[in-house]
Amino acid sequence: MLNITKQIIASAQKTIAIEQKAIAHLETLIDEEFAQAVSVIYESLGRVIITGIGKSAIIAQKIVATLNSTGTPAIFMHAADAIHGDLGTILQDDTVICISKSGNTPEIKVLVPLIKKTKNPLIAITSNRDSFLGTQADYVLHAYVEVEACPNNLAPTTSTTAQLVIGDAVAVALLDLRGFSDKDFAKYHPGGALGKKLYLRVSDITQMNEKPQVAPEASIKEVIVEISAKRLGVTAVIKDEKIIGIITDGDLRRMLSKNDTFQGLTAQDIMSASPKTVATDEMAVTAKRMLEENGISQLLATDQGKYSGVVHIHDLIKEGII
């Protein structure tokens, strides 16, 4: 078992080392032709059509997804399907990216001349500049790899990683050119935890919660009843619609450990003054950061200086912010 463990670790480390070396080399291949290709996409009035076959087709789909989510409209067109009717996907103003490690596969040799006839700009992502694809393309993004991580140098591993990295480089360069902001990103990612981090505000959380509050002169029994009823482990202490303090479950426990009786005590006697607050128009991620920085579980929310509700750490966990 020990020998098998060592073999697995060594194999994995060798794979990562081979691919790491290839990716590092890609940086030296980014040149003016790369910049020209990205500029063509940026200035285009159409979409980016990305095609490939085999594992390259899978990489093409991922690049399409990345471009679409960062402000560049893109469509995947399988190379085999393209020569059987899907070539109509390409419209007049579109730019075509063709991905192929060798650049010499039969499907690519059939497809490339057909794309050339449409006179759409053709960008190649290939490991072989001297291939059929490399020599026919208007621009070549050189995704050169010396060897696959596969010990037989057969299974697409290093080459597909290189293609993916080149695709990311194109997408991020376009993102920079477009000045694509986090607000733009939120428009394309409204669902899931990622989207919520970009658009969810404190007010979206507080409106779902109860609004526990007591007056400064409230008895300890009233405080306990309010905290228990609102089920947030906390209550605000309010005077003239202003927050003057906060009482948590922890404050109650500390009070009981210090006093034999709470007869005669009021909310003002046990509250923590000047509690941490967050405005309702702040992003939920801001509330998350404040909770983490201060090592607390609840924040009191305010709207134009007035008490508005509670943000609990459990709310952020439930929403996927934490």
Walk me through the domains of the chain, giving residue ranges and CATH numbers: 2-180 (3.40.50.10490), 202-318 (3.10.580.10)
- For residues 265 and 257, the answer to whether their CB atoms sit within 8 Å is no
| pLDDT at residue 194 in the model | 58
Structure-block tokens of residue 99: 């991905």
β-bridge pairing 298-303 and 306-312: antiparallel
CA 232/CA 135 separation, integer angstroms: 67
Q: How far is CA 3 from CA 6, 15, 265, 275, 287, in A?
A: 5, 18, 69, 58, 50
Nearest to 278 by CA among 206, 213, 196: 206
CA pair distance 183, 187, nearest whole angstrom: 7
Burial (Cβ within 10 Å: 0-12, 13-18, ≥19) of residue 317: exposed
Q: Give the HSE-up count for residue 161: Cα atoms under 13 Å, Cβ half-sphere.
A: 21
Q: Which residues of the chain have a pLDDT value below 70?
A: 182-198, 322
pLDDT at residue 309, rounded to an integer: 92
Centre a 10 Å sphere on the Cβ of residue 256 and count the other Cβ atoms it contains: 13
CB atoms within 10 A of CB 233: 19
Separation of alpha carbons 77 and 112, rounded Å: 13
What digits encode the pLDDT tens for the residues 274-314?
A: 899 999 999 888 889 999 999 998 999 999 889 999 999 88
Q: CA separation (Å) from 12 to 7, 8, 24?
A: 9, 6, 18
Enter the DSSP assignment of 54: T
Among 178, 166, 158, 175, residue whose Cα is nearest residue 139 = 166
Which ranges of the chain would DSSP assign to H, the alpha helix?
A: 2-29, 32-43, 55-69, 79-82, 106-118, 132-136, 158-178, 182-188, 192-199, 202-206, 220-230, 249-258, 267-270, 284-294, 313-318
Q: What is the pLDDT of residue 187?
A: 65
